Amino acid sequence: MRAPLPRTLRARLTFGLVVLLAVCCAAVGVAAVVELEGFLTGRLDEQLTEVGTRFPASLEHSGPPADDHDGDEHGDTRRQSAGTFGALLRHGTVVDAAVVRPTGTASVALTTTDGIRLVAVPADGRGHTVGLSALHEYRVMAAAGADGDVLVTGLPWEPVEAPIHRLELVAGIVFGAAVTVTGVAGALWVRWSLRPLSRVAATATRVSELPLASGEVALPARVPASDPRGEVGRLASAFNRMLGHVEDALTQRHASEERLRRFAADASHELRTPVATVRGHAELALLNPGPVPPEITRSLERIVAESGRMGAMVDDLLLLARLDAGRPLDAFPVDLTHLVLEAVTDARAAGPAHRWELELPEEPVTVTGDEHRLHQVVANLLANARAHTPAGTKVTVTLEVEDTTAALMVHDDGPGVPSAIRSGVFDRFTRADRRTKDAGGGAGLGLSIVAAVVKAHRGGVSLESAPGSTTFTVRLPLGTA
């Protein structure tokens, strides 16, 4: 399993600095150890050459040489340092082995493995490291003796091994301390060097948390200026310029939205009176007791119908304009169960060709809000299901409680919402079939009113649609004022 890498730039830079320093220290340490080992090994080989084969050659005789009174019965120890090892090999077998002690020469009991290792040493007059079970590691040199014997001389490896181990310990401590101190100092230095970048990241985080989708937005203060010759300074300058462009764009968009809202509100308000006047005159003309040609009667009836539809559209636009302006709605306890029951009863009367089913919980579901607007939400959803599904479609209205939320589902088994408009079904003036505009259909404001009213009640609405299954889900927080 791979070790996780640091996530932040500061941690990565510090980690990289420490790793590079550790690699450099390790390389220096290894080079020093290898060089010291080679130097000490060369010195030991020189000592072996100086010692020669005098000591192992003495093992070929049963006693000391005639002119030698400084040796003992095991070998010639003249000018031999303590620890010198000698072995006599004959016909691939160790015949005798001894080592020089401070008190004299002592025989060495070698194991079969030790014998095999000594026999494997080539008689080339060069040093080789051999591990002996009774004497640990030795640096040995083999040379040919008399009568085909092989003489092996050895010196302890410990004078080479001990300084190397000490160097490894000292290097490990020194380099470890250096890496630790450098890591701490490097972390502080990187932290100080990346302060401007941290300020850029903090400002970007605050900007990302702002509601930029709508409304007037106040961007946070700009990043403090830093040296423009560095990468971080150029990044800060570019980020400040980008914030300026974003702020200008948001200001212009907000001003445009405000003008559009005022226009929609003013136009809707101003249109209510003339539309009502046109409808009133048309209805008054239909009440004329005198003879009226059939063509005129049909025209007046169309005027009444269209003026009524236009009046409803004006009311919807005025409601959306008020919701966009953030005007508060009523906040009273609303029995959502009774409200849904009434809305389904009205929908059953308006659409008898559909099959209406209602699933309500045993206990009343109460929310806080505007009863008239919530009734409009349910009525719009039911009217949408009735208008966009053929006769015989089954429409199921379900009300249930999910933790602290009331969930209202309106499901039908009709053809489903076309995929082309599914993503913008809650936008204004969105219609499933453009031909309904000329066929007396709606203006495409019903679902946008549903979304706006539900949002004003701190809830949410969603759509799941496929051929044969369409579900609108409205979720509202439970509770009473």
Question: Would you write out the chain's pLDDT as a tens digit for each of its 481 residues?
Answer: 555 666 777 788 888 888 898 999 999 999 999 999 889 988 888 888 888 877 877 776 644 433 443 444 445 555 678 888 888 888 888 888 888 888 777 888 888 888 888 888 888 888 888 988 878 888 999 888 877 788 888 898 888 888 888 988 998 999 999 989 988 998 888 888 777 777 777 777 777 777 776 666 667 777 776 667 777 777 778 878 888 788 788 777 777 767 766 766 666 666 767 777 877 877 877 777 777 788 888 887 888 888 777 777 777 777 777 777 677 788 899 999 999 999 999 999 989 999 999 999 988 999 999 898 899 999 999 999 998 899 999 999 999 998 889 999 999 999 988 888 888 888 877 766 544 444 445 567 888 889 989 998 889 999 999 999 999 999 999 875 4
Residue 271 burial by CB count (10 A; 0-12/13-18/19+): exposed, middle or buried?
Answer: middle
**Which token pair is 73?**
């019965």
pTM of the complete model: 0.49
Residue with the two structure tokens 């007046």? 300
